[in-house]
Structure 1
């Protein structure tokens, strides 16, 4: 199984996810999307897989709250991708992309136990 984990290097939840994968000896590659921005084409692919842009973007974080109200209502995929390009911390994290192309968001012991049961 090939796993690519997208997140921010300093994010505590991303650290927990990486530690979980290491402890369970699940191989993965990690991409810090502040240093290596996610291409717009991938964001446009992942957003519907997660249930829409509103599910991809963390609307409870300080980055979102600091945005001017006019920026909080993107009307198109292009506007969403531009907003994320300008503010990568808006992406809810971590994102785990599996070799079957499925996209999974967030981290918990239960979620990762279920996702990676076949390799444990």
Structure 2
């Protein structure tokens, strides 16, 4: 299972703890320090559309209107912390966020 998130994100920490507690082995990729490849970001955008963009983040609030109007993929490449988190990949299936639907699918 590959887990894309941020070390400093409370939701990501809760998700990691729950997943490990359920016996999942995680390969954690910190989107800030490790980075995410443009190919992976593109896959995420294809799968989730504009929902991949976290418009409630501090990074988003710091962008001016010109920046916000750029294509989503370009924004994510330049500002990986704009990615909604976590993105979890298991057996080729992608999950976005840590809502009840994702928890039910991954924790049983």
| TM-score (norm: length of structure 2) | 0.88
Q: Which runs of 4+ in 1 moved over 3 A?
A: none
1:85-106 Cα offsets, whole Å, 9 max, x none, are 332210000000111x221111
| TM-score (norm: length of structure 1) | 0.80
- Mapped partners of 1:38, 1:22: distance in 2: 22
Q: Figure out how many residues of one structure are paired with residues of the other and give that number.
A: 108
Give yes or no for the alignment of 1:37 onto 2:28: no
Structure 1 unmatched ranges of 5 or more: none
Asked if 2 retains the 8 angstrom alpha-carbon contact of 1:7 and 1:30, the reply is: yes
- Mapped partners of 2:30, 2:100: distance in 1: 21
Deviation of the 1:110 alpha carbon: 4.9
- Mapped partners of 2:54, 2:9: distance in 1: 13
C-alpha RMSD over aligned residues: 1.6
Matching residue of 2:17: 19
More contact order relative to length (CA 8 Å, sep ≥ 6): 1
Q: Which structure has the bigger radius of gyration?
A: 1
Structure 1 19/27 Cα, relative in aligned 2: closer, same or farther at 3 Å? same
Deviation of the 1:116 alpha carbon: 4.1
